[in-house]
Amino acid sequence: MDISICICTFRRPALLDRLLPLLAAQAQGRTCEILVADNDPAHSAEPVLHKHEHTLGVPLRWAHVPQPNIAMARNAVVGLATGTLLAFIDDDEIPSPQWLQALIDTKASTQADVVFAPVVATYRPDTPAWMIAGKYFERQRFTTGATVPVNEARTGNVLLARSLLAPLPGPFDLSFGNTGGEDTRLFRTLAASGARFVWCDEAEVFEEVPADRATLKWLLRRSYRVGQTYLRSEWQAASGLGGAFSVGVLLARAVVQLLIAAVLGLVLLPVSRSRSVRWCRVAMAQLGKLSVLIGHRYHEYGKQPG
């Protein structure tokens, strides 16, 4: 196979049912396979997979990963893959018509090891106006061919060479499987080994923000989790006295930023809710970093969809 399209799914059978034919349409004329890891103990994806097993026109294979753990699920689809290239897409995303071709073209023209692309947020009609104005779900974009910094690396929309993962244990770290951050950890490792990351702005995928995420509670929890997994990843990468000093600086900075961001969040609340929430999210991220010191782990995966 030239390309293995990899999907991890958890209790989203309707969205998976929508996604599979869209991917098959893009795979026509190429030697592709579509691989799915069903991470639901109740096998919720199985009826959808059987429905499409012989109708897509491209090979569809899957693995049931009964223990909810996003790193285990990602490792399962990597283990199934036979393609030279791996394309990761999430089960709640919709690829643009040129998605796969644009990724392939950018990798060929830049000779990069990894190609990242945009995940564009779309909103339900009942999404609060202040949340749309705050752009909390909008991620940084770059020009095609630009170098992508490692802190912007994620698996929601990415193409990479399978050979990059072969030497790595896992390759996704199971200790991040319930908290998230397993992709951050992987791409930090690849960057440290000299892998080159570039951007493809034409390979868009679209992701609707569901009602259960369009809340202040979810935004603050996500910021807390991101801060926590970032610090854990930095701590794992640290070595020797220099590494310990760097982690200490990060923690000291987190204390200062927590205080400043909390004050700004309160001061701006009467002026602009969206700006206030932005600073509250910064404060929660710093709190997440500091929580690592007491051993707290926020488990985002395995308890609910997403």
Q: How confident is the model at residue 301 (pLDDT cuts 50, 70, 90)?
A: low
Cα 107 from Cα 86, distance rounded (Å): 12
What is the CB-side half-sphere exposure of residue 114 using CA atoms within 13 A?
Answer: 27
Q: 164 and 271, same structural domain?
A: no
- What's the number of domains the chain is made of? 2
Domain membership flag for residue 304: no
For the record, the structure tokens of 244 come out as 């310990």
Residue 304: what pLDDT? 41
* For residue 299, pLDDT beyond 80: no
Q: How many helices (H) and strands (E) does the chain have?
A: 9, 10
- DSSP class of residue 146? P
Range of the domain at 129: 3-209
pLDDT digits (tens, 9 = 90+) for 77-99: 999 999 999 999 999 999 999 99
Q: 261 and 276, same structural domain?
A: yes
Q: 229 and 136, same structural domain?
A: no
Domain membership flag for residue 305: no
Helix axes 216-237, 240-268, angle to 10 degrees: 160
Single residue among 179, 209, 239 that ends a domain in this structure: 209
Q: 178 and 72, same structural domain?
A: yes
Does the pTM of the predicted model rise above 0.85?
A: yes
Residues 6+ apart with CB under 8 A from 107: 85, 115, 159
Q: 275 and 174, same structural domain?
A: no
Residue type, 179: T
